[in-house]
Each structure stands twice: as C-alpha cells, then as structure tokens.
C-alpha cells in the first residue's frame, strides 16, 4: 500500500483556502477514481482505493496544518508504509499559480505542514508542490494562504486538479515524468496548428524583367523608325 497525503486545515471555514489545495486534490481523486467512503482514522479522514494497480490510502490530517505529522506517522506505522512510499500534496508559495512540481526528499522551506511531517517521519518522502503564487512580502503570507482562492483562479485551479487526477495512476506506479506530462496536457494543452496564409514570394528584378509584357515596355524608337516599321 502507498500513502497519498493532502495537506490542509479541517472545517468549512478553511475549505476553499489556498492552504487547503492538498485537501482539494484528495477530494478530486476520491471522486474520480471510485475510492471508498471517507472514514475517521489516524486523527484524519481516510479513503481506500486503487490507482494504476496500486493500493492507495488517501489521508487528510484533521490535526490542523502544523500537526500534520502526527496523523501521517500513525497511518504509516499502522500499514507499515515505508517513508519513500508516501506522497504529500501541498501548496507552494515559490511556484506560480497552477504550476506543479514533483520532488523527492529535501527541506520543508518553512511550510508548517511539511515541518511537522519532517519531525515525525523524516524527509525521505515525495512531495507534489502545487503553485499558489506569493503575495509579494513575507508579512503577508499567513493572511494570503488562509484566504480563499479568488474567482479568477477558478479556471487554472480546475485544470490543475483535473491534470493531477489524470496522472494519478502514473504517480502511484512511480512514474513522476508521466504524471507531469498528464498535468501539463491539462494546464498547458498543445495549441492547434494554424498556418498563416503564405505571402507571395518576392520576385527579383531580373525575373520580373523576364516576365514583363513587351507591350508594357516604353517605345524608344525614333519617329523615322516608327514610320518605317509601320510599312514593314
């Protein structure tokens, strides 16, 4: 079994917050891939199903963000899931809105949820970093992440969630490149090839001269020549 963790804060008050994009991902996976009903376990909400032939446990910690590690550690211990088989979906300030990156291991970059997980199970787990953009100054970060996504964010957010759902089986099978390709097809779909009308090729003066109608050329004959030509 593999463990997919979505980070967020419990309760309707936080449901549409930027900080809760991890919960949004798991909600989408549960709906799109016929996972079982949500149950309360491990101080969180869990749902079981399969992706790409792999048995997956979805976990949304309900301990609030800064204690997420407690819930993750309990689930991993119960099912004997290695740290390397854990994937955490979380908001990422350092990525532009709608961008997605997969990373194995590394630091927590000040993210309270990741900090808690680091403390509980170490850092050797996989993260799916979901860009929400940065408010521009560190003093604005707390207010920014705990506010709802703007209406203008709706389209890219939906594309991102759809792309993650499309590629979830590849991620479960340990193929992050194929997962990222599926996300990209939703967030950056290939444009249809439209060929602009081809402009007429420029003609060189020499060719133009060859094609010119002789009747259009200026008459340089003298009056005497013109009179003689008339009687030929």
Q: Active-site positions? A: 19
User: Could you tell me how many helices (H) and strands (E) the chain has, helices first?
Assistant: 8, 7
Q: Among 81, 175, 191, 70, which Cα is nearest to 125's?
A: 81
Of 125, 86, 120, nearest in space to 2 by CA: 86
Give the pair of three-digit tokens for residue 73: 């550690």
Residue pair 96/131 in contact (Cβ under 8 Å)? The answer is: yes
Residue 34 Ramachandran class (φ > 0 left, ψ -120 to 50 alpha, else beta): left
Q: What pairs with residue 40 in β-bridges?
A: 45
Cα–Cα distance measured from residue 48 to residue 66, given in angstroms and rounded to the nearest whole number: 24
- The residues, ordered by sequence, that sit 6+ positions from 97 with a Cβ below 8 Å of its Cβ are 131, 132, 133, 153, 156
Counting every residue written for the chain, the total comes to: 232
User: How many CA within 13 A on the CB side of residue 77?
Assistant: 10
């Amino acid at each position: 079994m593999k463990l997919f963790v979505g980070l967020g804060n419990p309760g309707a008050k936080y449901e549409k917050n930027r900080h809760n994009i991890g919960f949004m991902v798991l909600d989408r996976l549960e709906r799109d891939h016929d996972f079982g009903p949500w149950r309360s376990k491990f101080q969180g909400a869990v749902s079981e199903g399969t992706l790409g032939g792999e048995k997956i446990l979805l976990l949304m910690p309900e301990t609030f963000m800064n204690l997420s590690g407690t819930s993750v550690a309990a689930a991993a211990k119960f099912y004997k899931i290695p740290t390397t088989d854990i994937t955490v979906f979380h908001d990422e300030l350092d990525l532009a809105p709608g961008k997605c990156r997969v990373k194995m291991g590394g630091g927590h970059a000040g993210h309270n949820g990741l900090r808690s997980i680091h403390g509980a199970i170490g850092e050797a787990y996989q993260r799916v970093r979901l860009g929400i953009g940065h408010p521009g100054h560190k003093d604005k970060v707390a207010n920014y992440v705990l506010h709802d996504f703007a209406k203008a964010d709706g389209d890219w957010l939906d594309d991102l969630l759809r792309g993650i759902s499309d590629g979830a089986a590849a991620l479960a099978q340990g193929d992050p490149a194929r997962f990222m390709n599926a996300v990209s097809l939703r967030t950056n779909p290939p444009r249809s090839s439209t060929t602009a009308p081809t402009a007429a090729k420029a003609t060189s003066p020499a060719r133009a001269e060859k094609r010119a109608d002789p009747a259009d050329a200026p008459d340089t004959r003298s009056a005497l020549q013109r009179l003689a030509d008339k009687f030929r």
